[in-house]
Amino acid sequence: MRYPRNLQGYGPCPQVVWPNEARIAVQFVVNYEEGGENSVLHGDAASEAFLSEIVGAQAWPGKRHWNMESIYEYGARAGFWRLHRLLTDRQVPVTVYGVATALKRSPAQVAAMQDAGWEVASHGLKWIEHKDFSAAQERAEIAEAIRLHTIVTGERPRGWYTGRCSENTLDLVTEAGGFDYVSDSYADDLPYWHEHDGRHQLVIPYTLDANDMRFATAQGFNSGDQFFSYLKDSFDVLYAEGKGGSPKMLSIGLHCRLAGRPGRAAALARFVDYVKSHSKVWLARRIDIARYWAEAYPFQPNDGCPSRLPEETFVARFGGIFEHSDWIARRAFAGELSAANDTATGLHAALTTVFREASEAQRFAVLIAHPDLAGKLAQAKRLTESSTNEQASAGLGALTDRERGRFTELNDAYVEKFGFPFIMAVKGRSKDEILAVFESRIDNDRDTEFETACRQVERIALLRLRDMLPG
């Protein structure tokens, strides 16, 4: 069974190069939702209750909520223009997440966005919740959002962010096609590729923390200073990581009715000025990031990754990782594999879990499947290719008669005492080191040596996987 979530990501230190060797890509989003929110005027069952100045707001079924409506109206009438002046005066590139019905009701604002060279991406048809939509209903909404957006702006949207999305949203937008990026994800500080039904789609993750929406949530910002401080700290950490060779992206989410208020706009202005006081910062629209990423880091098919292989191919490739014990690979395949198991470390964890969960008799069978070191099978050239290479790398294929005699003596004594062969991960070790360990471990009691041998089997498996897979 393949687990669909990807918890692996880019690992501890992703190596990315931004244009002009920028240490960070900074992206400002203006969410334009005013006029697209829940309202009985828009054919909805109740009023809006999300992201406003009203603490603990509740939807009013079948009624207009005058206070809520006027708060949203502030965003269109005043907040938008304040943000527009602030960002254009400072020559900040901007992406707008525009709700199609909201854009339709605000022609002057749309014209101002376009005159400023802002990217107008789609924020869906209406600013409503989609979690209970069927796939067919949401698919129809996406198509209508694209149609209306194109009519209102004169251009088809190239970016998409639903926001209040369902589990199907990302796949449905991927199916729709024609988007340079989708942002319905908060999974990373960098773009990544999503695959669905034979198609691939670039995802540029968005943010819910570096976002003025936290002025309207229970655990949020109470003042502009808190907003500024959080954005500054976020920038400073990512800027330092970029200076250290691992550049990232910082997204800042804004709403006209929230950040467009004077006290919050002042904090935003301070932050923009702070960002612009630094060198090697790439201020970009999301479409610019998407087009750069698609060229610099194009989609790479990963059908050959372990978690993507069919069962027989998987077993054929990894069945020998634990010596002559392909049942371990088969059980791992039947378990839960994901992108996290596509590295040597990750696949080793999956295989080792099976081995550790096995009965003592099953683990004993794995131990006795291993050959003696420098034993009769090696002399007869009947080892597996992996064992042959491992023993040869430690010099066990070129022993003197005296050394070979000592190994034979130890092998016989060890098997007689413990009932299984001496097992050690010999790759990278010298024959003198191996002999010293051999002579030390033969004095162990059986329980201790059984567990030691099992850990060495696991170590051998890891070294074999590192020869086959990245990290």
297 secondary structure, DSSP code: S
Residues 159 and 287: beta-carbon distance below 8 Å: yes
Of the candidates 265, 278, 282, the one whose C-alpha atom is nearest the C-alpha of residue 228 is 265
Q: Quote the CA–CA distance of 175 and 7 in Å, as a whole number.
A: 23
As a whole number of angstroms, the distance between CA 43 and CA 79 comes to: 26
CA 419 to chain centre: 46
Rounded-to-integer distance, Cα 255 and Cα 261, Å: 10
Sort 108 into a burial class: Cβ within 10 Å, 0-12 / 13-18 / 19+: exposed
Give the alpha-carbon dihedral of 178, 181, 185, 191, to 10 degrees: 150
Beta-strand ranges (E) seen in 48-161 are 94-98, 119-122, 159-160
Catalytic-role residue among 84, 130, 348, 370: 370
Q: What is the DSSP letter of 448?
A: H
Which token pair is 86?
């602030």
User: What's the CA gap between 24 and 40, in Å, rounded?
Assistant: 43
Q: What is the pairing mode between strands 192-196 and 199-203?
A: antiparallel
Integer-rounded Cα Rg, in Å, for the chain is: 30
What is the length of the chain?
471
* Annotation says 278 is catalytic: no
Residues 6+ apart with CB under 8 A from 64: 39, 40, 41, 47
Distance CA 158, CA 212 (A): 24
267: which 2 tokens?
């904090």
How far apart are alpha carbons 402 and 206 in whole angstroms? Answer: 67
Catalytic center residues: 370
